[in-house]
A = this chain, B = another copy of it.
Amino acid sequence: MEQRLTMVTLGVRDLARARAFYEEGLGWTLGDGVEGQVAFYDLGGMLLGLYGLEALAEDAKTALAELSPGRNFGGMTLAYNVRDKAAVDATLKEAEAAGATLLKAAEEVFWGGYSGYFADPDGHPWEVAFNPFWTLNDDGSVSLPKKD
C-alpha cells in the first residue's frame, strides 16, 4: 500500500448546511459531486468529501448504533484509491495480512466503482476503491473530471 491518502470523507446530517459552511462560509469551491447527495472538494491532489452520515456508515458496514451524531468525534472515513479492481482486492488482502479487520469485502458499488473497507487496529475505517471516473495520476494524486 503506497504512502498516500486519496480522500477524507465527513459524514454529515445536512448536506446543504455542510456545503454552505465550506463553500459560502470558508470560500471553498466545489470540485465534483451529485446534487443533494455528495460533494467533493479538491485539496490539491487529495479530496475532502461530504456524504450523508448514515449512508457513510452503511457504506463502511459500520453499525449505526455505534454512531452518536451529536458528538464531536466520529463519522469520518479515509479512502485509498487504486487503479483497477484487482488492486482493490490485493490491497485489502495486504491490509488484512498486516492486522487490519475487513469491514466490507470489495464489491461493485452503486456509483459505478468497486470498493471495500478495512479498519486499522484502532478501528479507523479505510475504504479501498477503484473509481473509473477519476484519474489517479502517476504520483498517486487524484484529478477530478473537468467541468463543462
Footprint of B on A, CB under 8 Å?
1, 3-5, 8, 10-14, 17-18, 20-22, 24-29, 41-46, 48, 53, 57, 60, 62-63, 66-78, 94-95, 97-100, 103, 119-125, 139-141
Contact check, B75 vs A26: say whether CB atoms are below 8 A apart.
no
**Contacting residues, chain B, for A73 (C-beta < 8 A):** 11, 57, 60, 62, 66-67, 74-77, 123, 125
Shortest A110–chain B CB gap in Å is 21
- Establish whether residues A72 and B66, one from each chain, have CB atoms under 8 Å apart when the complex forms: yes
Q: Quick check: A3 and B41 within 8 Å, CB to CB?
A: yes
- A141: chain B residues at CB < 8 Å are 44
What are 6 A-to-B residue pairs whose CB atoms are below 8 Å? A1-B27, A5-B46, A25-B98, A62-B72, A63-B72, A69-B123
